[in-house]
Amino acid sequence: MIYEFSGLRARTERATSKRGVGTHDQTIVDDNHLANLTLFAFSGPLHGLDDRAAIFTLSNKVTNSVDGKRLFCSSCPERQRLLLCLPKIDMSQRITTHLGKHKISTPRNIQIFSSGRYSLHLQWDVPECGNIVQYEYVLNGQDEWAQFDVHRGVASTEQITVQNLLPGTRYIVVVRGVDKSGRKGPWLEETIEATTDGKAPTVSQDIQVVFKSDSEMRIKWKPVLHYPVQHYEVLLSEQTNQFEALHVLRAQVPADENSFLFRDLKAMTSYNIGVIAFVNHEPRVIYHISPETSGRRVQHWRLPANAYAREVGKFSVHWSKPADLINQNIKGFYIEYRLKNETG
């Protein structure tokens, strides 16, 4: 069991003279019998006892209660002087554990406090060990058509509200703590599942990969014609069980476009890609695909293509087939262009 106490700043004794915490283990059967005094030295980030006085580990005795944790000063055992007596903690129904120095444990009792069509509110208890100052969390869509929808962030308290979720969709949640020094604890061992309210959007398979390389991938989808689409949202997440290594991307595409180019991807890596069509500010249609990048790097043509202006707004482009591709069966050519003032 971890015991912390604070509020000793007003004491007249210097903080450096406070040596440790003395405990008496009192058995439940015999209230008059006290075991020998055990003195724990101060540990934790604040040895001066200004705010958090100490963190110490008690022995693993389920049948014991701990009565009267007492603070003593002076480095000489014969001169130990009682400064204050802290309240009793009943350990009769509590299993104690041994926790290593500076260890960070996982958050406890995570639960879904409330849910909406596009949001989830979660809360949890602080970890048993660690001077936690913030938390990292990841929400990942679990339905086959929503695995691309990944939300990650940082919270300063033991509760979060994650918005911009898909309605009628299952998500898993993992949380971990981060201490003052930036050390990160383990992710919650058991994943928590939560479902948003409402009906899930329509799912479409009309999406394909136009081309891909070791670091780039362009996708194209069939535009929505029977709804007044405001815009599309393109999402990408890496297929991995390592939450801290997730590559997550979100981008907004105008309603009159139906293609998107992903850059800076990993070679020979599987990704979950989704496109969401928004109608009246709500997700109405979802496209999803799970391609893998190539292991081959892109080869640049040495001979540039030539463009000729035909009329206002129209050009013709001419190029020669590379010599090293003459004997290969080429499926087709894909032409991309941008204006001089464009950087994309």
pLDDT at 344: 56
pLDDT average, residue stretch 32-46: 41
C-alpha 130/C-alpha 179 separation (Å) is 7
pLDDT at 333: 81
C-alpha 218/C-alpha 209 separation (Å) is 6
Element (H, E) at 32: none
Confidence of residue 101 (pLDDT cuts 50, 70, 90): low
Is 70 exceeded by the pLDDT of residue 47? no
Task: Give the amino acid at 261.
Answer: L
Rounded to two decimals, the pTM is 0.67
What architecture is the 202-289 domain classified under in CATH? Answer: Sandwich (2.60)
Q: How far apart are the first and last CA of the chain?
A: 56
Residue 344 burial (CB count, 10 A): 6
Instruction: Using alpha carbons, select from 114, 207, 129 the residue that is nearest to residue 161.
Output: 114
CA atoms within 13 A on the CB side of 272: 19
Output 292 or 311, whichever has higher pLDDT.
292
pLDDT at 282: 94
Output 107 or 334, whichever has higher pLDDT.
107
pLDDT at 103: 82
pLDDT at 330: 81
pLDDT average, residue stretch 319-344: 77
pLDDT average, residue stretch 29-37: 39
Which tens digits make up the pLDDT trace of 215-247?
999 999 999 998 899 999 999 999 987 777 678
* Phi-psi region at 241: left, alpha or beta (left = phi > 0; alpha = psi -120 to 50): alpha
pLDDT at 335: 80
Q: In what order do the strands lie in the sheet with 192-195?
A: 150-155, 132-141, 170-179, 192-195
Q: In what order do the strands lie in the sheet with 64-73?
A: 38-41, 18-27, 64-73, 81-85
The answer to whether 108-196 and 202-289 have equal CATH topology is yes
Is 90 exceeded by the pLDDT of residue 155? yes
- Residue 3 pairs with which residues in a beta bridge? 56
pLDDT average, residue stretch 101-116: 86
Multiple choice CATH, 108-196, 2.170.120.20, 2.60.40.10, 1.10.260.40, 1.10.1740.10: 2.60.40.10
**Structure tokens belonging to residue 341:** 């003032």
Is 80 exceeded by the pLDDT of residue 157? yes
**Structure tokens belonging to residue 140:** 């990942």
Average pLDDT value over all residues in the chain: 75
The CA–CA distances, whole Å, from 206 to 222, 251, 274 equal 6, 19, 11
Which tens digits make up the pLDDT trace of 290-306?
999 998 887 777 777 88
- Residue 178 pairs with which residues in a beta bridge? 134, 184
Q: Any idea which of 51-65, 85-99, 129-143, 177-191 has the lowest mean pLDDT?
A: 51-65
- Every domain of the chain and the residues it spans: 108-196, 202-289
C-alpha 91/C-alpha 112 separation (Å) is 29
